Structure 1
Amino acid sequence: MADRWRRPRVFGIVLMLVGVGAFVLLGSWQLRRAHEKEALFAAYAHAAEQAPVKLAQARHSADATRWPLVDVEGTFDPGHAYVLDDQVRDGRAGVMLFNVFVPSAGGDALLVNRGFLARDMRGDSPQFPAPPAGVQHLRALYAPPPGAGIRLGGNALPAQANWPKTTIYVDLGEIATDLGRRLDPRVLLQVSADSENRGFVRNWKPEVFPPERHYGYAFTWFTFAAVVVATFAILHRRNGRSRPIARGNPR
């Protein structure tokens, strides 16, 4: 049995090349994103080791891939806090506690992420420690707010009468409206210890897809490209059978 090839039409060739090219471009883009995320996570892992700067300097030097370490003085607003629900750290469910912080040097107030608090074994909410009173000296990362992902429903913050208010994503515009005051477009991720142990976990990491996710996507796109080439080859291959041998009539 001999294999013979059908001559493909020009349209089929063009369609195959376009498909393969698109999938290869998508896979290459995912590889670049993976490399960027690796550099991002490596820089973030050492962010707390960098030399701290003043908040005013951080506000001018921060960009999409850099979170300056800042030293800032100010006071916490004891009456207003937000609890970011549905958080997971090291396999444990819990919340993040955000308090409003007013810098002594002036400027917009900031939300300070004081850390992760795990729920108990029954899934009940933890106790929310009140912020320390008086002028505080904080060391923190000046970072973007956590990503919101896909929003299903609203926070309905104004409808909540009791503080702290629970939220399912941090929208600084909505929170500023709820507070009736301007907020900095970034938040502070506290790295300095409190005056006493309050149970916060402050293992900060970027709120983005990890590099492994992008490598997985890249593998998928390259696989699609290989499938297109294999399908094109299969569709344009035909099997030619040899002529049957003539046999005489049986006697």
Structure 2
Amino acid sequence: MSGWRRPTWWAVLLTAAGALLFACLGVWQLHRADEKEALLRRYAAALAAPPVALSVAAGRAPGEGYARVGVRGEFLADRRYLLDNPRHDSRGGVEVYVPLRMPGQPRLLLVDLGLLPGQGGEARPDLPALPSGEQLLQGVYLPPPGHALEMGGDALPGQARWPKTTVYLDLGQLAADLGQPLFPRVLALEPEPASPYQRSTPDFAAMPPSRHRAYAFQWFVFAAAAVVIFVLRHRSRRGGDGEGTP
């Protein structure tokens, strides 16, 4: 008859630890999904709101949400930065950033022009010319895209030609490279059908909430599988190991 074989202490410990770890990872992914949804709601609310002055947006506390702003200034067209990291591999192309000089303002504002799609097998897409003179821009004042491990340190000083390419965006490093202070956030320009740049949701939504929930489901499956394997390994089969037989 089927019965139960007493498991060793280390088998119980490993199974419990593994199942708990997988479950915690699943819960963490669910929290990440909720955070992404909250960020997307804040971004959508900012796009629907009337624009405010940059000084008003810069004075807001981080928890007060994003702000849609309108600014006037002149592009430093010969000082463009190309963000080319693994997040763009699935779409191809580079995210283009350019500093904006505003009248009477000692700090530059870094403007996110959007994603410039790749062109076939070319290593770098051609950069469209930027308009000269003072421009009126509208967009959402957002934190710069986050980055993980910075392999190799700051690569900007070693590049003598513009535009410069980077795999992560560090505003402190960009300010040092430009020789001028920058605002602590960037201006992500609003979508424009005629623009050569693709502007949709910002970089923080590169992994949508649905993908986080899919990962959470996988971790919960792993947790359940660990328990099921433990039970099956310690269930005695009929006449299986001879315990209890004369």
Please state which band the TM-score falls in when normalised by the shorter chain.
0.7 to 0.9
Which structure: greater strand fraction? Answer: 1
Contact 1:144 1:185 in 2 (8 A): yes
* CA displacement, residues 33-70 of structure 1 (integer Å, 9 cap, x when unaligned): 21222332344345322222211221132537933111
The residue number in structure 2 matching 1:138 is: 137
The residue number in structure 1 matching 2:201 is: 204
Per-residue deviation, 1:30: 1.5
The residue number in structure 2 matching 1:249 is: none
Per-residue deviation, 1:178: 1.0
Aligned CA distance change for structure 1 residues 91 and 214 (closer, same or farther; 3 Å): closer
The residue number in structure 1 matching 2:73 is: 74
Per-residue deviation, 1:225: 1.6
Aligned CA distance change for structure 1 residues 120 and 4 (closer, same or farther; 3 Å): closer
The residue number in structure 2 matching 1:104 is: 103
Structure 2: 5+ residue runs without aligned partners?
none
Structure 1: 5+ residue runs without aligned partners?
244-251
Q: Secondary structure at the match of 1:159?
A: coil
Task: Provide the rounded CA distance (Å) in 2 between the counterparts of 1:51 and 1:33.
Answer: 29
The residue number in structure 2 matching 1:83 is: 82
Task: Provide the rounded CA distance (Å) in 1 between the counterparts of 2:82 and 2:64.
Answer: 26
Per-residue deviation, 1:111: 0.9
Task: Provide the rounded CA distance (Å) in 1 between the counterparts of 2:91 and 2:26.
Answer: 33
* Larger-gyration structure (1/2): 1
Contact 2:192 2:199 in 1 (8 A): no
- Give the letter for the 2:177 counterpart: D
Aligned CA distance change for structure 1 residues 88 and 7 (closer, same or farther; 3 Å): closer
Root mean square deviation, CA, Å: 3.2
The residue number in structure 1 matching 2:230 is: 232
Task: Provide the rounded CA distance (Å) in 2 between the counterparts of 1:164 and 1:12.
Answer: 57
* CA displacement, residues 179-231 of structure 1 (integer Å, 9 cap, x when unaligned): 1111122111112769xx55222223343432133223212221222122112
Per-residue deviation, 1:115: 2.2
Q: Secondary structure at the match of 2:84?
A: strand
Percent identity over the alignment is 40
Q: Secondary structure at the match of 1:99?
A: strand
Give the TM-score of the pair, scaled to structure 2: 0.80
- Give the letter for the 1:234 counterpart: L
